[in-house]
Structure 1
Amino acid sequence: MHQIEKETVLDVRGLRTEFGLAECPLVAVDDVSFQVKAGEILGLVGESGSGKSITLRSILGIVRPRGRVWGEILWKGRDLVPLDEAALRRVRGREIAMIFQEPMSSLNPLLTVGLQISENLAAHTDLNSKERKARAIELLDMVGIPAARNRLGDYPHEFSGGMRQRVMIAIALASNPQLLLADEPTTALDVTIQDQILRLIQALSRDLGMAVILVTHDMGVVAETCDRVAVMYGGRLCETGLTADVIADARHPYSLGLLRSIPRDVAPRTPLYSIPGAPPSLNALPAGCAFTARCPVAGPECRDVRPSLETTGRQRQVACHHREEALIHFSAREAAQ
């Protein structure tokens, strides 16, 4: 039986986000393109400073007025880039919702969680006061907060870190969005709570048919959670594909380095691998490949000639001048250990 092809709800084409002076801009996101289908979880992975969070904020238009966004962000066929603030507000929260990194700084410490959920419902639905309260209880129960009815009057500081993150998810889900942008939703949580939050997002995506873009720096999280993955570095995509394919057979030196950084069957007191160097500053990006300075197989052309994303297999794209050399290099390192 043939699987029914899912509808593409978000189509990002040539996204570019820049800050600073127009004559000498700092480019945080540079020519990024990807698609997300209904009910699919796309992992956007890379180190801090890779441009992942700015990509999510660009989709919602919340980098303005300091940031400038170019390209196309097609949401169900409608381009969000040229929309004014009033039109974007009708999309934010109602159709596209976002979970921010730090729930304690995103939640208002002076308002009860019930009121904060109710505010979202009042802004994006036609429910009356009694219906909003019932919906708030339903949402808290849906995200796994015990005794949900009794917690409506509690303040954010009365919840643990994991429970605050669940409250953030409940607020994001209040108006049944079709796309959820999750910006490192498990940051600073212990591994048990992290697993619970990720399983919750998976279940909600599956049960509600909701598309999700999950930002993380952890390839392990991507492997457990996402259907597809887009690896980002220096504001650019360097590899995309089905998660299982990228995990099993990464082609870009940066993807290989991220996977190599995950401890697996490591003997006690063995130094763990880390990618040497640090991500480049936005005002010092090379004209060519952004990973050049840290790449073990970079050649003379890498600094000057930007590699394009080339299709290398089933839904696979890689931007690298030396894919074969990278595979050989990392295979030789593993064989030597």
Structure 2
Amino acid sequence: MQDQSPILEVDRLNTTFHRNGRPLPALRDVSFSVARGEVLGLVGESGSGKSVTLRSIIGLARRYGEVTGQILWQGRDLLPMPDRALRQVQGREIAMIFQEPMTSLNPLLTVGLQLEETLQSHTDLPRAARRDRAVEMLDLVGIPSAAQRLKDYPHQFSGGMRQRVMIAIALAANPKLLLADEPTTALDVTIQAQILDLILRLADEMDMGVVLVTHDLGVVAQTCDNVAVMYAGRIVEQGPVRDVLREPRHPYTVGLMRSVPENLPPRTPLYSVPGTPPGLDALPPGCAFAPRCAACIQPCQQDRPGLSLIADGRQVACFNPVTKAEGNAA
């Protein structure tokens, strides 16, 4: 039986950047957990805080802003760790796939050298074994003639192949948690499906937790066990993916579901959530979604709702959540 105890516990995570002396709260009281072998999806509009969440977990956001709260990794809090100790976790225990492989890979170094650099930093393998491991990883992610392609540069690979190289680098040291920041961005549908299948297969084979950031609710439905919906730096709804997508209870989640076109007649206007997300320097005093919400009531404009448990595993941050029937109709 699979161990369901969490390997990662994020508790009241806050990340604040500063501009001209003004605080810009990018994350506010974000809390979730990930178990070994679990795939958690983070969804929401651009600017909702999904990528900042991943960068805060792995320690990149603290270089440019203030990060508070708790990030418990197998019982150890990562936030107070000095940089040297944190580097022993980055890449070795927690790995990350960034959005754009062409800018993440060094164009002046061969992919073999970039793979071996990761292995040299995070394993004790000798040089010959590192090369063998690099060939093994390229072969594992489905790159033909892996031994020959070690000498190639990133520009000699297609977009889908570069993304596979990024996955190979991320997984080279057998991490226990993978942070995937929109790993299928700008890829065609066929390659997207192959990349997602690859990540899921490797996660299952390696018994690895995955946090997947994406805009695509279809991807979430097909790949994730649980989902957290983010808006303006906060989680507004989370729970088992089947329950959240079938019966969304937060008005924002309902809006996202309605924005997915399905069985529409030709020339039917597409639905979009009215309004635009607020800027980090212009967050309303109450619920950040209140100015765009048709279900807004008086408390929404004054107070910020916290996540409340509404069912087994389901949490919603809303003073006036939609009914189960309304969620079914989304």
TM range (shorter): over 0.9
RMSD: 1.6
Matched with 1:198 is 196
Secondary structure of the corresponding residue to residue 70 of structure 1 = strand
Aligned to 1:56: 54
In the TM superposition, 1:17-36 aligns within 5 A as 17-20=15-18, 24-36=22-34
Instruction: Name the counterpart of 1:242.
Output: 240
Secondary structure of the residue aligned to 1:302 is helix
- By how many angstroms is 1:300 displaced? 2.3
Number of the residue aligned with 1:81: 79
**Which residue does 2:249 correspond to in 1?**
251
Q: Which runs of 5+ in 1 are unaligned?
A: none
Aligned residue for 1:16, secondary structure, equals: strand
1:150-229 matches, cutoff 5 A: 150-229=148-227
> Structure 1 residue 141: deviation in Å?
0.7
Mapping 1:89-168, distance limit 5 Å: 89-168=87-166
What percent of counterpart residues are identical? 60
TM-score (norm 1): 0.95
What amino acid does structure 2 have at the position aligned with 1:32? V
Q: CA deviation at 1:269?
A: 1.4
Q: For the Cα contact (< 8 Å) 2:249–2:323, is it kept in 1?
A: no
Partners of 1:158 and 1:204 lie apart in 2 by 25
Post-superposition Cα deviations, 1:118-155, rounded to whole Å, max 9, x if no partner, equal 00000011111111110001000111111111111010
When the two structures are aligned, how many residues end up with a matched partner? 330
Shifted more, 262-271 versus 162-171: the winner is: 262-271
Corresponding residue SS for 1:87: helix
What is the TM-score with the length of structure 2 in the denominator? Answer: 0.97
Q: Deviations over 1:239-280 (max 9, x none)?
A: 000001111111001111111111111111111111111111
Preserved CA contact (<8 Å) 2:141 2:164: yes
In structure 1, what residue type is equivalent to 2:322? E
Structure 1 equivalent of residue 286 of structure 2: 288
Aligned to 2:257, what secondary structure does the other structure show? helix
Change (3 A) 1:188 1:240: same
- Structure 1 residues 79-133: Cα deviation after superposition (integer angstroms, max 9, x where no partner): 0001111111111000000000000000000000000000000001111111111
> 1:218, CA displacement in angstroms?
1.4
CA shift for structure 1 position 327: 5.8
Gaps of 5+ in 2: none
Residue range with higher mean Cα deviation, 4-13 or 249-258: 4-13
1:275 corresponds, among 270, 273, 277, to: 273
> Which of 45, 51, 55 is matched with 1:47 structurally?
45
TM superposition shift of 1:22: 10
For 1:298, which of 292, 296, 299 is the aligned residue?
A: 296
Shift of 1:299: 1.6
